[in-house]
Structure 1
Amino acid sequence: MSKKIVFLDRDGVINKEVGYLHKIEDFEFINGVFDACVYFQSLGYQLIVVTNQSGIERGYYSEDDFHTVNNWMLKQFKNQGVDILDVFFCPHGPGSNCDCRKPKPGMFNQADDKYSIDMENSWMIGDKEADVQAANAAGIQNTVLVKSGHTIDETNSKSLFILDSIEYVKTAIKN
């Protein structure tokens, strides 16, 4: 049976955007993220993080730095009763020809290959139009953009919902 997933971007959705986050002491969770994730789980969704991390290719931090912060983040979720199924990340810069950097759907396709995902009934929550484009390209039409990260051009967005932050997502995602 295929899984229903809520895909989450990291920076700007899970944590406050600080620009090339790579230190635990700079990681600050966005209000309501744990409650929202518990809510998604109560509806039968599993959670996967998909995040562009171009700071790795740019040399701002190492892949080990990313994994250190990521493992700490996953532990904080676990402590709040939230199980993150997996984290997919793209270490490449904007000029890369990779297929994993959003707005390309590579991370979603990797997740689908690994977990057999029901893309039609899954969701993507991001803070950039690239998140929506990547989700749409992977067959996910259920999208939410949150204003807690980057500025959003609401008039030209293809997102189904635009909300102030993940704290308000219960108004969009229902069973």
Structure 2
Amino acid sequence: MKKAVFLDRDGVINEVLTDRVKFVNQPHELYFLPGVPEAIKKLNTFFDYIFVVTNQGGVGLGYMKESQLVKIHDYMIAELKKEGAIIHEVVYCPHKPKSGCACRKPNSKLIEDLGNKYDIELSLSYMVGDTDTDIIAGKKAGTKGVFLGESDPLADAIFPDLISSVDWIMEDAKTK
């Protein structure tokens, strides 16, 4: 059975709403949060797959074209790879917030589709996010939820950032 970690993008992998960047609309606006390449590299040693699952309503709202979003993700993957950190696939919901689509988190379609495509045992996998919608999507799909921030009542674990969550995720996964 294959295991995966599903990562939200903004606020988990890269800065958003900081002094340097409000939203990532161009590749050069993507700044990794501290420890992210190291965290992903460490997760790569234990999990079969690392995925990014992200809502990108800016496409649906017209702030950027889908082709630009793909360039941002290609850049992110390439920069992480330079550090030895592998993202196996990035999936996203390009629709407007409140559009009612099945793919926008807190819905779990993106996670479930990856699970089916890669033969992932979702109950042995983890969704890591910085909003309740990330945790809800993971729970609906059957994963454990790891919240990055102050508190989330649905999360299985809470940490301040991705790098500090890695040891717990790997240790917890060993017990399954």
Q: How does 1:66-105 map to 2 (within 5 A)?
A: 66-105=69-108
1:32 pairs, out of 28, 32, 35, with: 35
Please give the TM-score of this superposition, normalised by the length of structure 2: 0.90
The Cα of 1:114 is off from its aligned counterpart by 1.1
Match of 1:165 among 161, 164, 169: 161
- Equivalent residue, structure 1, for 2:49: 46
Shift of 1:41: 1.4
- Which one scores higher on RCO, CA 8 angstroms, separation ≥ 6? 1
What is aligned with 1:6? 5
Number of matched pairs: 167
**Match of 2:59, SS?**
coil
Q: Which AA in structure 2 matches 1:34?
A: P
Q: Which residue of 1 aligns with 2:16?
A: 17
Q: Which whole-Å CA distance do the structure 2 matches of 1:43 and 1:108 have between them?
A: 19
Q: In the alignment, residue 89 of structure 2 is paired with which amino acid?
A: D
Determine if contact 1:15/1:28 at 8 Å carries over to the other structure: yes
Tell me which amino acid in the other structure corresponds to 2:156. L
Which residue number corresponds to residue 120 of structure 1? 123
Q: Shift of the alpha carbon at 1:157?
A: 2.2
Unaligned 5+ runs, structure 2: none
Task: Name the counterpart of 1:62.
Answer: 65
- The separation in 2 between residues aligned to 1:85 and 1:170, in whole angstroms, is 18
Q: Deviations over 1:73-120 (max 9, x none)?
A: 000111111221111100012221211000000101111121111101
AA of the residue aligned to 1:118: E
TM (norm. structure 1) is: 0.90
Which of 147, 152, 158 is equivalent to 1:145? 147
Question: Contact between 2:135 and 2:155, CA under 8 Å: does it hold in 1?
Answer: yes
Return the alpha-carbon distance in structure 1 between the equivalents of residues 99 and 112 of structure 2.
Answer: 18
Q: 2:9, 2:31 → 1: CA distance?
A: 11
Check conservation: 1:20, 1:60, Cα contact below 8 A.
Answer: no
Question: What is the Cα deviation at residue 10 of structure 1?
Answer: 0.3
Q: CA RMSD in A?
A: 1.3
* Structure 1 unaligned regions, length at least 5: none
Query: Per-residue displacement from partner, 1:14-48 (whole Å, max 9, x unpaired)?
Result: 00113431112211101111111111112234200
